[in-house]
A and B are shown apart, each in its own frame.
Chain A
């Protein structure tokens, strides 16, 4: 079975949010909804040493996360209507907008904040891997927009062969929970999943 997914290069990502905005523009999303979100994880501080303040393990890095089209999608498991479903042919996890009852239980279950509730239409929406563009032989909008070339999209077996298996890094959940289809190239500052030395700098932006 084919499984599509993302490669996310956190060592290159500068947190510029071009991908997020390109997606918002292309998918015509309101202010509240973002199919792709950039999480800035920061920690450390300064300590006083005599008269000077010195840096004490100050770190910051960015993770650009959309939907990971998980192999064990918590959203699909929770959904009562079957609107949230995983496609057999390409492994994408999609919302059937004609079936969704807008109960938002998928959003309760997803540990990546991917489902984005559309208040005006009363239904759930989220990243669909730009399935329309894929059918036209194009890459997803977010991937094409990145000025740092920090995102890739494609067959997971190929991406994993090229870039390895890493899908665990703070502040993401343990990848064993949903088996996300992402490969992350870690930033040199990266902290492991479960790390509590940092915090999310931009909670209002995600």
Chain B
């Protein structure tokens, strides 16, 4: 089984999806100079984005042995990456959530909303950076390599892009040209993502200490990898389907693709945690 760290698997994948989606939606809104009315029209699909983020945070506290003391996680802000991750994640959620609230209530004026959006984008980006750094531990050879940032980034790009498109379609703010661009980028991103997955699998074959071989850590590693890639490809297929057959892009269609892509990402993240090992003796 590769899901023993299920709470962290869900937390990291959902957070990366939400931040990836938020960065794209917000960049789009800023560049296209959305007015308050326009921003307001995104409120329902954006609620889904924040719900995903909220569920992610719930999972993150479930991971703790003593969740009532969760606030102690901030104690080493600036000194431990895990503290930084929790802090910037919470700040992203708070500032972005506030902006969403203002957009729903049509309050605060456009300028305030713009400022909040930019701040939330910055916080989200730092949150993602901190999340990567949490796992870059030099005593954990299976994490301390280029595939940790790459795979985290690809989750953000692929799932974030899909969530972005779903939000645009759900907010009735889409057009054929947009879909064409997105699907083209998606094909490239999925290709990179598969290369990253295979490159990582290859590296795992080489990591070995006196008592642990990375490739022996997961029973049926090859099958999981196959499933991960297959689900991603299937997701891409459904994602691109309307474009191929010349039909209108529907939210349901994209939602189905998103479920497949997220399942693939969850398997990939499950493998990530299952491939934990140290440079010496195994953890308890």
Question: Which residues of A sit under 8 angstroms from B281, Cβ to Cβ?
Answer: 37, 39, 65, 111-113, 171-173, 206
Chain B proximity of A184: nearest CB distance (Å): 13
In the docked arrangement, what's the CA distance between A189 and B72, Å? 46
Question: Which residues of B sit under 8 angstroms from A121, Cβ to Cβ?
Answer: 65-66
CB of A123 within 8 A of CB of B140, answer no
CB of A122 within 8 A of CB of B64, answer yes
Question: Which residues of B sit under 8 angstroms from A117, Cβ to Cβ?
Answer: 65, 284
Of A39, A99, A119, A171, the contact of B65 (CB 8 Å cutoff) = A119
- Between A and B, how many residue pairs show CB distances below 8 Å? 143
Of A82, A174, A195, the contact of B279 (CB 8 Å cutoff) = A174
Interface residues of B in 102-152 (CB under 8 A from A): 134, 137-140
Question: Which residues of A sit under 8 angstroms from B80, Cβ to Cβ?
Answer: 77-80
CB of A195 within 8 A of CB of B210, answer yes
Chain A proximity of B75: nearest CB distance (Å): 4
Q: A109 an interface residue at 8 Å Cβ cutoff?
A: yes
Interface of A is mostly: loop
In the docked arrangement, what's the CA distance between A80 and B284, Å? 20
CB of A101 within 8 A of CB of B65, answer yes
- Please count how many residues in chain A sit with their CB below 8 Å of the partner chain's CB atoms: 54
Question: Which residues of A sit under 8 angstroms from B12, Cβ to Cβ?
Answer: none
Q: Mark B265-284, 1 if CB is under 8 A from A, else 0.
A: 00000000000101111111
With A78-B80, A171-B211 known to touch, is A107 a contact of B138 (CB < 8 Å)?
Answer: no
Q: A200 an interface residue at 8 Å Cβ cutoff?
A: yes
In the docked arrangement, what's the CA distance between A122 and B210, Å? 31
Question: Which residues of A sit under 8 angstroms from B283, Cβ to Cβ?
Answer: 107-108, 110, 113, 115
Interface residues of chain A, those whose CB is within 8 Å of chain B, are: 32-33, 37, 39, 41, 65, 74, 77-83, 99-105, 107-113, 115-119, 121-124, 170-174, 177-178, 191, 193-196, 198-200, 203, 206
